[in-house]
Amino acid sequence: MSDLTRLYDEINQCQRCPLGRTRTRAVPGEGPEDAQIMFIGEAPGFHEDQQGRPFVGAAGHFLEQLLASIGLKRRDVYICNVIKCRPPGNRDPLPNEIQACAEFLDRQIALIKPRVIVTLGRYSMAKYLPQASISRVHGHPQRVGNVIVLPLYHPAAALHQPRYKADIEEDFKKIPLLLQESVALDEPPPPAGPVEAEQLRLF
């Protein structure tokens, strides 16, 4: 059993916050243990809660289309969320819920060691850029410690508000170049919690 599989077992048994009592299934994450690109969303929705897998609803289908647009498939990347259980009614994650899951996410990042982390939505962006506005920084890569972070709108935002669709499609095109730029970044990923970010002047 790998360290990542053991982590999944911990997540599936977690009762650190009230969401552990209201979920159908925990949603740890999925993808290759050596993935170079990690996508971090916000929280599971209805379909994710039913299946125990991240991004399997409408937003997940759109994410797969976005991946295909840059020559990737779902199986090529690692996908997870800031919190691992669905908030009732798909409400926004609460601070105590984010804190309860923070260690799990930090351990996932440490085990996967991605070169590029793509944050989807403002809650995952806040892990690295807590003071930023997603409307201002989306699509602008940041060097955070030894990893490249690319903040993007959440795919669900594009489905609910079509004006965001062109932005996320255009921002997504930057991922392959960022992966090339990251080749020299062979140090471990950033430590837990926000650290100082440096915007990369790649575009």
Mean pLDDT of 56-79: 97
pLDDT tens track for 102-148: 999 999 999 999 999 999 999 999 999 999 999 999 999 999 988 99
Take residue 136 and report the two structure tokens written for it. 């201002």
Mean pLDDT of 63-68: 97
Helices H, strands E: what count in the chain? 10, 6
User: In the chain, pLDDT over 70 holds for what percent of residues?
Assistant: 90
Specify the residue for token string 């926004």. 92
pLDDT of residue 186: 56
d(CA 98, CA 143): 23
Q: What is the mean pLDDT of the chain?
A: 91
pLDDT of residue 203: 43
Q: What is the DSSP string of 45-112?
A: -HHHHHHT-SS-SHHHHHHHHHHHHTT--GGGSEEEESSSSPPGGGPPPPHHHHHHHHHHHHHHHHHH
Mean pLDDT of 14-39: 97
Whether domain 3-184 has CATH 3.40.50.300: the reply is no
pTM summary value: 0.90
Q: Where are the alpha helices (DSSP H) in 27-84?
A: 46-51, 58-69
pLDDT band at 200 (very low <50, low <70, confident <90, very high): low
From 106, 105, 98, 100, select the one nearest 122 (Cα to Cα).
98
pLDDT of residue 139: 96
> What are the distances in angstroms from CA 84 to CA 6, 12, 17, 52?
15, 9, 11, 9
Residue type, 59: A
> What are the distances in angstroms from CA 191 to CA 108, 132, 144, 196?
12, 19, 10, 11
Take residue 3 and report the two structure tokens written for it. 């360290």
d(CA 30, CA 84): 12
- Give the start-to-end residue ranges of the domains of the chain: 3-184
Q: Would you say residue 195 has pLDDT above 80?
A: no
Q: Would you say residue 71 has pLDDT above 80?
A: yes
